[in-house]
Structure 1
Amino acid sequence: MFTKDIDHSRKDDVVLENEKADDGNLVYSDAETEPDLHLRTYVAVASMFLLNYVQIIALTGTPVVLSSIAAAVNGTKTETWIPNSLSLVQAVFCPVIASASDVFQARKVILVVTCLTSFVGSAIAPGSHSLARIVSAQTLIGFGFAAVPLAYSVPSEILPRKWRAMTQALLNVAASLAAVSAPLIIGGLTSAYPQNGWRYFYWIQAGIWGLTAIGIFFGYTPPSRHTRLDHMSLLQKIGQLDLIGAFLLAAGLSLILFAVTSGGELYPWRSARIVATLVVGLVVFAGFFVYEWRGTATGILHHDLFKGGKNRGRTFVLCVFLIMMEGCLLFSYIIFYPVLTVDLYETDSFLLASRIVPFWIACGICTSIYGYTAVRLSSIRPGLAIGFLIFTAGIVGLATLEPNDSTSAIVFVALAGIGFAAPLILIITGVQLSTPHSLIATATAVTTSARAIAATTFTAIFSAALGDRLRVYIPQYVGDAVGRAGLPSTSIPAFIAAFTENDQNALRIVKGVTPSIIQAATMALKQADADGLRVVYIIAASFGAVACLACFFLGDLSMEMDYRVDAPVEELQAKRHERSKA
């Protein structure tokens, strides 16, 4: 029921419940009184919980057995394109999807369609025998992952603003469950079926995407909402989407990513192909920012997001910066910790997965603590600073690992997981509280796109830095070790070539090879891998330290953390016991 005929002489005692906002949309505007939520709201939240689960299944499963997938599709040298294709789609299409959900007021339709697109991609992936097909499949799956802004925004706008940190924490529990189950599933399948295990994983993923689409279709039933663009035709509304900005962003990122991924691997860094691609990519990427600054005020980087002073515009900018730092730290773990584990400690796919899950278990346990603390303190600053500090400490620990530090690796991973439990949920909370509700999806999209840009960029940087080191360390370390073990100097070049390619037939004909020499080479290779991978975590930890300091410049959001509900899916009333107190 809607509040009418308010006695303004007693306005302090009136409990405002459901009202029509100026645009005619349903809102709950009583900032002081907790609303009474019903099954319809909780079912909608549950559908978003499932969406978060499958999105993280898609993100975290593939990297665990990336080398196996790359070998199966003959794409070992460019294997980072397999996970990066998903993140690139997110970076480019997040803002477009979020903007379309606002322009057309079609959150539900967009969510269902993107889930079905991911379902198709997951069904295409199992038949992949070429890099092009698996990357194409991952690209389609990326459209479901690109709906992340809506997965974060919908629960926040249908529940009280005061609970946003806790709401995001519960969504992160879903993500943690997915991040625990995905490595175990794909690792177990690949261990049992070395050639086709990862293909079965994609079929499982397809089933979950299909179930999610059905769950959202029946579970998320928002009332019709209106915007200032309702009077426009379909073509006019499409014209409101920032397609130019999306094109510039896609073109620039794709060119930059190709250059930094291929440089040193497929082509020399100084080759005209790499230099030209990188320069053009940087120019186009810079053109995106110029266009967003001077060419449009309502594009991907909507100018209203940057207004409002310390507690709004500046806080939003800092949150975007912090999510990029979080992406840097997270993807140093997601992409390269499995590589480290295989190279140094464990090659069995299932046991490899079991060494990954402590990070996500720690995250799942601690994320609700950070969310609850933010609600109680009405502040995201303390939790963010502590979380980034612990996360960075865990990454520093990974940078110190040696081939015999198997147990320490698990401890540092768990420590990093405790820290990771804070940044994502509190940054998203800060973004959504520091921007107008009319831009909540757009603001969340900019944030998740920034994270995806950081993820793809830093993954490429990490890969390039690691590749450069290993090309020097492996022949140097192995050559020195086998020389000390007694291999004739004339045999060392042939031995290194055969050993690094794991060519057993070639090894047998190398003069002077003995079991002790092979053992010495194996230990030297592990040390080279350890010293090479160290650079990834040194780079990541440096940015983590910067993030710790940046947290203290965030604004005060306590005034925004109240019981208002911006877009309820049902008519809400104040809880009776709260009403009686008033």
Structure 2
Amino acid sequence: MSMDKDVREKMDVTKQSSYPIEPVDGALVEPEPENLYQVKLTTILAVIALSWANNCAALSNTVNTTIKFQVAALGEPELAPWLANSNFVVTLAIAPVFGFLSDRLGKKWFLVLGSIMGMMGAVISGSAHKTTTIIIGNCFIGLGNAGCIMGIPAAQEVTPNRLRPWTMGFSQFFASIVVVTGTLAAGAFVKYHSFRWAYYLNAFHYGASAILVFAFYHPPPTTLRRQMAALKEIAGKIDYVGIVLFSGSIASLIIALTWGGQTYPWSAGRVVAPLTIGAIGLVAFGFYERLGYKEGILDHRMFITRNFPILLIVCVIDGMLLLGVNVMFSQQVAALYTHDAVKIATVLTPYLATSAFGCFPAGAIMARTKSYRTLLVGALFWCSLWSGLMALQNQNRLSWAYTFSSLLGIGTAVTTTIPVVALVLSVPSFLLGAAGTLSVACRALGGIIGITTFTAILNNKMATELPRNVLSVLGPAGQANLTQAVIKALKSTQPTALGMVPNLPKNLIPQLQLAQTNAQVYSYKYVWIAISVFIAANAILACALEPVHSKMNNHIESALEESTERKKQMTMVPGQDHTTHTT
């Protein structure tokens, strides 16, 4: 297909909507208000409320740092992977569906009802007396998060394009502060009371989100809602086939990734079957969206430039970095430095803090320069460098862990903020719900893939290094016959298990504990090397991104301030002339 034909097809896609969009030099130029739109208190309060809603998903993930304590309290350790993934699988499968619907029906009630659903789930998990009950509660939390993450695209809609980087920087800064606070609070709850209060803190946050969004977010009908005023018409254009294919495929993949290598071997039918179904389903979904439905979940108008597909891949790999580092680093701290929940949170704090305080400057730089590619590529290579140096950690280098992780956090502040802003400036503003939730889903999927991949690397290295190290202690002492029993005890969650191994000389216990620590140091080294390589590949991919400076204008998608633009958006109905001034 020739380039001219590609361009004609893209322009034809934009003409399917009565909303005026002009492709100019490969970018989208959207209509601007005749008078400069002014952001005032109404918008600021709405952005705070919407950012608070988005923070619900971020805060819910901090409870994952207490998973081993939840299992220790309630049992059923074989279900531990589902304590986190039950939340992720529901969010991943449902969020893009909610995003697609919210572009047509509006985002407010998805946010409010999602917050209420998350509050219910947090109460169920916090009051649970069985691990399975926590998993059920976390499924409700995942459903709530699928609505709450709409806070990011909604906040971008109520902000003029030129100010979107500032808004995103604030939202991510706010979320990072919540993550730092939530991580420290979760550690304190575990140490001084119970993991249950980490869930109860989430319940309070969800409840406050519902109240704030209801009180301060009053948007006009969406562009697509104004074009199709009748709900019957909207219902007739819902991508039902795409919803079923996408949700089912994602759920199948995550089930396989959660079970594989942990609950069941990768070769087991219970892993192979959902993995195969999920992979085939996603391929079928891609073909259907490409050939069968132009305004579905993967609306063709989002692909008017190459930025959207590239940034989705960037988000997947960035999710491997963000969630992978959060989980693997916290596990490494517990393995090498301390088992105290508060101290673990303290070691994580420099990384989380620099990630938090770097978000706002990253947004400010993009807003002032109207440029982002160099900043993003540089940040990714920076992250690759410092994640690679994290491989040098051992039990005697805690200061190195503090230094390297805090420098890594500076880079992740940029990679957390910039790709999302670039993405929402690369697609039509009336599709921000679908585009934004897809990016979040890709980031979460990347996190699950990353955790699965990095855990597999860790386990594979431990499977060979731990027996070798244990035998090097037991062999010279004439106790080689105890190798398997000792390895089983070292893998146990019970701290006294090693001392209960029959006939094991007590003087060998410190040496065996050191052997286990050395095996962990060796194994985590390869995890960090893998993370570094993935991030470097992401940096190379980001070099292909296109500029968005022509889109950083005064266009306002959802006007909250009293203005001519808001009046127009509140009153426009099908059949009227919707043409506005374009640049």
| TM-score > 0.5, shorter chain as reference | yes
Q: Is the 8 A contact 2:319 2:446 kept in 1?
A: yes
**Structure 2 residue matching 1:36: 3-state secondary structure:** coil
Alignment match, 2:308 = 316
Displacement of 1:192: 0.9
Per-residue displacement from partner, 1:410-441 (whole Å, max 9, x unpaired)? 11211111001112221111111111112122
Alignment match, 2:156 = 156
CA distance in 2, matches of 1:524, 1:207: 44
CA distance in 1, matches of 2:469, 2:232: 63
With structure 2 as the length reference, what TM-score do the two structures score?
A: 0.87
Alignment match, 2:195 = 198
Alignment match, 2:146 = 146
Which has the higher mean CA deviation after the structures are superposed, 65-74 or 136-145? 65-74
Per-residue displacement from partner, 1:330-356 (whole Å, max 9, x unpaired)? 122111111101011111001111111
Q: Following superposition of structure 1 onto structure 2, how do residues 27-426 of structure 1 map, counting pairs within 5 Å?
A: 29-30=32-33, 34-59=36-61, 61-104=62-105, 106-147=106-147, 149-193=149-193, 197-225=194-222, 227=224, 234=231, 236-307=233-304, 313-426=305-418
Displacement of 1:269: 2.6
Which of these residues, 536, 539, 548, is aligned with residue 545 of structure 1? Answer: 536
Alignment match, 1:10 = none
Alignment match, 2:581 = none
Amino acid in structure 1 at the alignment position of 2:263: L
Alignment match, 2:14 = none
Displacement of 1:52: 2.8
CA distance in 2, matches of 1:553, 1:109: 37
**Structure 1 residue matching 2:475: 3-state secondary structure:** helix
Q: Is the 8 A contact 1:257 1:460 kept in 2?
A: no
CA distance in 2, matches of 1:475, 1:181: 39
Displacement of 1:175: 0.8
Q: Is the 8 A contact 1:363 1:418 kept in 2?
A: yes
**Residues 285 and 132 of structure 1, relative CA distance in 2, 3 Å threshold:** farther
**Structure 2 residue matching 1:421: 3-state secondary structure:** helix
Amino acid in structure 1 at the alignment position of 2:285: F
CA distance in 1, matches of 2:487, 2:220: 67
Which of these residues, 505, 520, 523, is aligned with residue 514 of structure 2? Answer: 523
- 2:573 aligned with 1:570, yes or no? no
Q: Is the 8 A contact 1:401 1:409 kept in 2?
A: yes
Displacement of 1:229: 6.9
Per-residue displacement from partner, 1:365-403 (whole Å, max 9, x unpaired)? 222221111112111112211221222223212223222
Q: Which runs of 5+ in 2 are unaligned?
A: 1-17, 22-29, 566-583
**Structure 1 residue matching 2:447: 3-state secondary structure:** helix
CA distance in 1, matches of 2:501, 2:466: 21
Per-residue displacement from partner, 1:68-89 (whole Å, max 9, x unpaired)? 1233343423422222222222
**Residues 218 and 229 of structure 1, relative CA distance in 2, 3 Å threshold:** closer
**Residues 508 and 64 of structure 1, relative CA distance in 2, 3 Å threshold:** closer
**Residues 186 and 532 of structure 1, relative CA distance in 2, 3 Å threshold:** same
Which has the higher mean CA deviation after the structures are superposed, 404-413 or 181-190? 404-413
CA distance in 2, matches of 1:219, 1:294: 41
**Residues 399 and 42 of structure 1, relative CA distance in 2, 3 Å threshold:** same
Alignment match, 1:6 = none
Amino acid in structure 2 at the alignment position of 1:335: V
Displacement of 1:508: 4.6
Alignment match, 2:437 = 445
Q: Is the 8 A contact 2:51 2:152 kept in 1?
A: no
CA distance in 2, matches of 1:509, 1:433: 61
**Residues 321 and 500 of structure 1, relative CA distance in 2, 3 Å threshold:** closer
Displacement of 1:524: 0.8
Alignment match, 2:552 = 561
Q: Is the 8 A contact 1:53 1:177 kept in 2?
A: no
**Structure 2 residue matching 1:29: 3-state secondary structure:** coil
Displacement of 1:249: 2.4
Displacement of 1:295: 2.7
CA distance in 2, matches of 1:396, 1:129: 41
Displacement of 1:118: 0.3
CA distance in 2, matches of 1:283, 1:570: 47
How high is the sequence identity, in percent, across the aligned residues? Answer: 23
Displacement of 1:404: 1.7
**Structure 2 residue matching 1:511: 3-state secondary structure:** coil
Q: Following superposition of structure 1 onto structure 2, how do residues 452-471 of structure 1 map, counting pairs within 5 Å?
A: 452-471=444-463
Alignment RMSD (CA, Å): 2.5
Displacement of 1:236: 4.7
Per-residue displacement from partner, 1:96-119 (whole Å, max 9, x unpaired)? 111111222x31111101110001
CA distance in 1, matches of 2:37, 2:228: 33
Amino acid in structure 1 at the alignment position of 2:489: A
CA distance in 2, matches of 1:85, 1:570: 40
Q: Is the 8 A contact 1:96 1:243 kept in 2?
A: no
Per-residue displacement from partner, 1:198-221 (whole Å, max 9, x unpaired)? 111111110111011001101112
Displacement of 1:237: 2.7
**Residues 242 and 412 of structure 1, relative CA distance in 2, 3 Å threshold:** farther
CA distance in 1, matches of 2:133, 2:334: 26
Amino acid in structure 2 at the alignment position of 1:43: L
Amino acid in structure 2 at the alignment position of 1:74: G
Q: Which runs of 5+ in 1 are unaligned?
A: 1-19, 308-312, 575-582
Amino acid in structure 2 at the alignment position of 1:526: T
**Structure 2 residue matching 1:379: 3-state secondary structure:** coil
CA distance in 2, matches of 1:240, 1:83: 34
Alignment match, 1:580 = none
Per-residue displacement from partner, 1:20-74 (whole Å, max 9, x unpaired)? 9879xxx98248x753322211111121132233321112x12212211233343
CA distance in 2, matches of 1:242, 1:331: 30
Amino acid in structure 1 at the alignment position of 2:67: L
Which has the higher mean CA deviation after the structures are superposed, 164-173 or 288-297? 288-297
Amino acid in structure 1 at the alignment position of 2:561: E
Displacement of 1:563: 2.2
Displacement of 1:506: 7.2
CA distance in 1, matches of 2:85, 2:168: 25
CA distance in 1, matches of 2:270, 2:209: 43
CA distance in 2, matches of 1:281, 1:349: 37
**Residues 188 and 22 of structure 1, relative CA distance in 2, 3 Å threshold:** same
**Residues 467 and 110 of structure 1, relative CA distance in 2, 3 Å threshold:** same
Per-residue displacement from partner, 1:280-308 (whole Å, max 9, x unpaired)? 3322232222222223222111111112x
Amino acid in structure 2 at the alignment position of 1:91: L
CA distance in 1, matches of 2:234, 2:550: 34
**Structure 2 residue matching 1:301: 3-state secondary structure:** coil
Amino acid in structure 2 at the alignment position of 1:64: T
